[in-house]
Structure 1
Amino acid sequence: MVRIRRAGLGDLPGVAQVLVDTWRATYRGVVPEAFLEELSYEGQADRWARGLRDPTWPGRLFVAEAGEVVGFAAFGPDRASGFPGYTAELWAIYVLPTWQRKGLGRALFHEGARLLQAEGYGRMLVWVLKENSQGRGFYEHLGGVLLGEREIELGGAKLWEVAYGFDLGEQKW
């Protein structure tokens, strides 16, 4: 049985493990190896803890729990994407590879999008690496509309991200 719920400080070691393990599995050969190796469980847990401890942090963090954290998603205000009308953003969503394709990503997405809609947000976007065909397929399956792309730098490498937009009132997901 998997439960989707708001995350607390005690969940952060699991959140960090999901992020690091998923990045290493998904982006090996896409982003520089040194960047992936520099990711650490402690560093990621500390990063999320700073947000959760800050009463002004605008994020909403959810976990998928099955005895342990097996996935998570973070949502919040748009971080200056440049797409008018997209005021909310899916900052991150990751599910351990062994738990993928079981509906957890969709459940995490739905929970955060539902909360954002209840808070008055109308449209949300997400950025995904252009070479991440599995991630892009996930967003397209949920009804995401391709908005544009931008160049970013990760670990000294120049990569491309694409943005997908969602109308939170349509609930195709």
Structure 2
Amino acid sequence: MTEITFRRATADDAAAIAALRVDSWRTTYRGVMPDAYLDGMRAEESTTMWSQVLLADVPTVCVCVAEAGDEIVGFASGMMLNPEKLGFDAELTAIYLKPIAQRGGVGRRLLAMIADAMQRQGASGLMVWVIAANQAARKFYEELGAELLVEQPFTWDGLELTEAGYGWRDLALLQQSCSK
């Protein structure tokens, strides 16, 4: 595989980020969510949202990408929370990788970049929500020292699901865990 580079995302990345998110959902949540819902997802619908986020260039929001050549193979986003949730002042709002970039440290590097950016904005902790049935993501967070905060029902686009909230109370320790 081509060497992977990491950088802050730009508005030009919006379409690739949206496509990666849709592809990841279709792969990860097949059998967890209805096929009709997953098959109906369209990257074009979220490209506009990602364009707006990236064009806004708000310092309390960070989106980073991992590239292999000119292809985005992963991305992560985070933001400061106001008000705090469950005692956390920042949230990892997304992290998605193409299969070719999984299990090679790309996710750890992206997470560390988000943790660093949030820490620079004054965050002391970072939380993340994951669909409870996503065992691979849960294992990833747990291996990096995340504390399970809560499991609870929630509604997403009319679907009744269960989510798990995880958190790291020490961002320096999280970054250290990501570098192992």
TM-score normalised per structure 1 = 0.92
Q: In the alignment, which residue of structure 2 is the partner of 1:5?
A: 7
Compared with structure 1, are the counterparts of its residues 79 and 26 closer, same or farther at alpha carbon in structure 2 (3 Å cutoff)?
Answer: farther
Structure 1 residue 33, shift from structure 2 partner: 1.8
Q: Which residue of 2 aligns with 1:41?
A: 43
* Conservation of the 8 A alpha-carbon contact between 2:8 and 2:64: yes
Q: 1:105/1:55 Cα in 2 relative to 1: closer, same or farther (>3 Å)? A: closer
Q: Name the counterpart of 2:74.
A: 71
1:56, 1:63 → 2: CA distance?
17
- Output the amino acid matched with 1:97: P
Verify the 8 A CA contact 1:14 1:69 in the aligned structure 2.
yes
Counting aligned pairs with the same residue, the percent is 38
Which of 75, 83, 105 is equivalent to 2:86? 83
> Does the Cα contact within 8 Å between 1:79 and 1:89 map onto a contact in 2?
no
In structure 2, the CA distance between the partners of 1:62 and 1:55, relative to structure 1 (3 Å rule), is: closer
Name stretches of at least 5 consecutive residues in structure 1 with no aligned partner.
Answer: none
Amino acid at match of 2:53: G
TM-superposed CA distance for 1:5, in Å, is 0.5
How far apart are the structure 1 equivalents of 2:35 and 2:65?
A: 27
Q: Within 5 Å, give how 1:7-156 maps onto structure 2.
A: 7-56=9-58, 58-67=60-69, 68-78=71-81, 82-84=85-87, 86-156=88-158
2:123, 2:57 → 1: CA distance?
Answer: 20
Shift of 1:156: 2.7
Conserved in 2, the CA contact under 8 Å of 1:32 and 1:155? no
Q: 1:117 to 1:128 in 2, by over 3 A?
A: same
TM-score normalised by the chain length of structure 2: 0.89
**Structure 2 counterpart of 1:73, which letter?**
A
Verify the 8 A CA contact 1:122 1:169 in the aligned structure 2: no
**Per the alignment, do residues 15 and 142 of structure 1 end up closer, same or farther by CA in structure 2, a change over 3 Å counting?**
same
In structure 2, C-alpha distance between the alignment counterparts of 1:81 and 1:157, rounded to whole Å: 26
1:118-171 CA distance string (max 9 Å, x none): 221100100001100000000001110101122112343211101111121323
C-alpha distance after superposition, 1:48-98 (max 9, x if no partner): 0111222557421100011210100000023767402x0000000000122
| Amino acid corresponding to residue 97 of structure 2 in structure 1 | V
Q: Which runs of 5+ in 2 are unaligned?
A: none
